[in-house]
Amino acid sequence: MSVILDEAPAQNLSDYGLFADMASARPAPGVVPFDLVNPLFSDHAQKQRFVFVPLGAAADYDDTDVFDFPVGTVLVKTFAFAPDMRQPDQGAYRVETRLLIHKASGWSAFAYIWNAGGTEAVYAPIGGRQQIETISPSGAPLSINYSVPNQNQCKTCHQAGDALSPIGPKARNLNHKGQLEDWAERGLLAGLDGAAPAAPAVFDVTLPVEARARAWLDINCAHCHKPDGSASNSGLVLSSTETDPAKLGIGKHPVAAGRGAGTLFQVIVPGAPDRSILAFRMASVEPGVAMPELGRSVPDPEGLALVREWIAEMERPE
State the residues that interact with other proteins by CB under 8 A: 81, 83, 91, 93, 113, 116, 122-134, 145, 147-148, 150-153, 155-156, 159, 162, 227, 230, 232-233, 235, 245-247, 251-266, 277, 286-288, 293-294, 297
State the Cα–Cα distance between residues 25 and 94, nearest whole angstrom: 9
Nearer to other proteins, 132 or 171 (CB): 132
The pairing of strands 141-148 and 128-135 is antiparallel
Nearer to other proteins, 20 or 285 (CB): 285
Of how many residues is the chain composed? 318
Closest of 96, 102, 103 to residue 25, by C-alpha: 96
Q: In whole angstroms, how close is the CB of 27 to other proteins at the nearest point?
A: 24
State the Cα–Cα distance between residues 239 and 251, nearest whole angstrom: 17
Nearer to other proteins, 159 or 173 (CB): 159
Contacts of 219 (CB under 8 A, 6+ apart): 36, 38, 39, 40, 167, 168, 173, 199, 202
Q: In whole angstroms, how close is the CB of 96 to other proteins at the nearest point?
A: 9
Q: In whole angstroms, how close is the CB of 251 to other proteins at the nearest point?
A: 7
On whether the CB atoms of residues 68 and 55 are closer than 8 A, the answer is no
Q: In whole angstroms, how close is the CB of 125 to other proteins at the nearest point?
A: 5
Nearer to other proteins, 207 or 241 (CB): 241
Nearer to other proteins, 127 or 137 (CB): 127
State the Cα–Cα distance between residues 155 and 223, nearest whole angstrom: 10
Nearer to other proteins, 175 or 266 (CB): 266
Q: In whole angstroms, how close is the CB of 246 to other proteins at the nearest point?
A: 5
Nearer to other proteins, 191 or 288 (CB): 288
Q: In whole angstroms, how close is the CB of 237 to other proteins at the nearest point?
A: 9
Q: In whole angstroms, how close is the CB of 122 to other proteins at the nearest point?
A: 7
